[in-house]
A and B are shown apart, each in its own frame.
Chain A
């Protein structure tokens, strides 16, 4: 649309009053069909089914997921916009939180938020004249394995992230080693693990080691979800990860800005993911500093 001249600027937005209305709960509670008769509801239950199968197939579980919940919270504590800005989280806080749908405890679940996000897409040529340093969409990949959760064969991976990630890197003309940070759709902690695993950052089950020692945290070698993400900043669907990727590359992230001040690499390429249904679709976008 932009290249052909149909439009000059496209606003992509998301807004929701998910806390102050019952619309999110209503949507989640009516997702299912016959499974409600057995007491199975919403996204937490189905992602927990996926996580349980992953625990069985490879070495994962709360000892891996606690690094994701706690690591992202550390980023949120640097982000005044985050819903959890003033609340720190320790590994004990994670482990002592109540079960919701086992194997998921409270902090394996994302937040529910009132608010919104928007970003503007235009041609690279027009972007050069704008106030802020632009960010280039360098690569894009999509893969949608689509099956119903009860018949899905991808709950423990590979999810759509594998093929979508390869396609996005190929289009961007880079390899995984060129990625400086990731903004991963994180409806649940396990979603972060399986998505990074399917991108190839570690082999199945090696996440337990990979996340050790603050890999994804401030000061870490592969920062992930640097706003706090959906787990600790706010849930605005795919716009939580992508707007953070854009803001980081523009250098507009204040205290949490990637680079020397957070003991991380100044980013050139950031990988962002979006995910739909119960791991049924994946979109991967590589953003690049202009």
Chain B
């Protein structure tokens, strides 16, 4: 087995449910029971109303590209073979915005507000990354 050559997420107690969800191909976020705000990154209180009453929900996996960039330089050797690649902030229909990659199209085809859907990349037996592709 070859070693996974890219950085892995710095998983902590707050983000563990999110990454656990990814392993079973579910996008899980915290929702505030007091005001309904769906938040990311995870936190013990709601950034909108400071409520502590929280439930984890599963997002449908649809959203839009809020903004994106194209990397032409590998700041980490693990990404040398990927150049050029797209890093984007995707805003999910449920509200949260997350960092991700846009795949399944050329770098020139990506644009702000493009409709995208989640596609699961099982990069190791322990880690699945939520990536996004254009909605056909």
A interface list, Cβ under 8 A from B: 29, 33-42, 45, 48-50, 52-53, 56, 98-104, 148-151, 155
Residue of A29, A38, A100 touching B87 (CB-CB under 8 A): A38
Contact status of A33 and B69, CB under 8 A, knowing A41-B76, A150-B98, A151-B97: no
Which A residues lie within 8 Å of B85 (CB)?
Answer: 39
CB distance from A11 to the nearest CB of B (A): 35
CA distance A96 to B68 in the complex (A): 22
Tell me whether A39 and B82 are in contact (CB under 8 A).
yes
Residue B112, interface by CB 8 Å: yes
When distances are taken between beta carbons in the complex, the residues of chain B under 8 Å from A149 are 89
A39 touches which of B79, B113, B127 (Cβ 8 Å): B79
The 16 sampled A-B contact pairs (Cβ below 8 Å) are A36-B10, A36-B76, A37-B6, A38-B129, A39-B79, A39-B85, A39-B101, A49-B87, A101-B73, A103-B69, A150-B89, A150-B98, A150-B99, A151-B96, A151-B97, A155-B67
Tell me the minimal C-beta distance from B31 to chain A in angstroms: 15
List B residues at the A interface (Cβ < 8 Å). Answer: 6-10, 15, 40-41, 66-76, 78-79, 82, 84-85, 87, 89, 96-101, 107, 111-113, 127, 129, 131
The answer to whether A101 and B98 have CB atoms under 8 Å apart is no
| Nearest 4 pairs of A and B residues by beta carbon | A56-B112, A35-B99, A102-B70, A53-B67
* A121 shortest CB reach to chain B, Å: 36
Q: Which residues of A contact B99 (CB under 8 A)?
A: 34-35, 38, 40, 150
**Given A42-B75, A101-B73, residue A49 in contact with residue B7 (CB < 8 A):** no
A151 CB contact (under 8 Å) in B15, B40, B127: B40
A49–B67 CB distance below 8 A? yes
Q: Are B75 and A99 in contact (CB under 8 A)?
A: no
Minimal Cβ-Cβ distance residue in B for A48: B69
Nearest CB in chain B to that of A41: its residue? B75
Q: Quick one: which of A29, A36, A101, A155 contacts B72, CB cutoff 8 A? A: A101
Q: How far is the CB of B77 from chain A (nearest CB, A)?
A: 11
Contact assessment for A101 and B70 in the assembled complex, using a CB-CB cutoff below 8 Å? yes
B87 contacts A33, CB within 8 Å?
no
Residue of chain B at shortest CB distance from A25? B75
Given A45-B71, A49-B87, 18 new contacts (CB under 8 A): A33-B41, A34-B15, A35-B99, A36-B9, A36-B10, A37-B7, A38-B87, A39-B75, A39-B78, A39-B79, A40-B99, A45-B69, A53-B67, A56-B67, A56-B111, A103-B69, A150-B40, A151-B40
B73 touches A100 (CB 8 A): yes
CA–CA, A29 and B9, complex, Å = 14
Smallest CB separation, A250 vs chain B (Å):
40
Residues of A with C-beta under 8 A to B70? 99, 101-102
Q: Are B101 and A56 in contact (CB under 8 A)?
A: no
Are A102 and B15 CB-contacts (below 8 A) given A36-B7, A49-B89?
no
- Among the listed B8, B68, B79, which residue makes an inter-chain contact with A52, where contact means beta carbons less than 8 Å apart? B68
Contact between B72 and A98, CB atoms less than 8 A apart: yes
Shortest distance between the CB of A146 and any CB in chain B (Å): 11
Chain A's closest residue to B111 (CB) is: A56
The answer to whether A37 and B69 have CB atoms under 8 Å apart is no
How many Å from the CB of A103 to the closest CB on chain B?
Answer: 7
**CA of A39 to CA of B79, assembled, Å:** 7
What CA separation (Å) do A101 and B68 show in the bound complex? 10
Contacting residues, chain A, for B84 (C-beta < 8 A): 99, 102
**CA A50 to CA B85, docked complex, whole Å:** 17
Q: Which residue of B lies closest to A98 (CB)?
A: B72
Please give, as numbers and ranges, the residues of chain A lying within 8 Å of B75 by CB-CB distance: 29, 39, 41-42
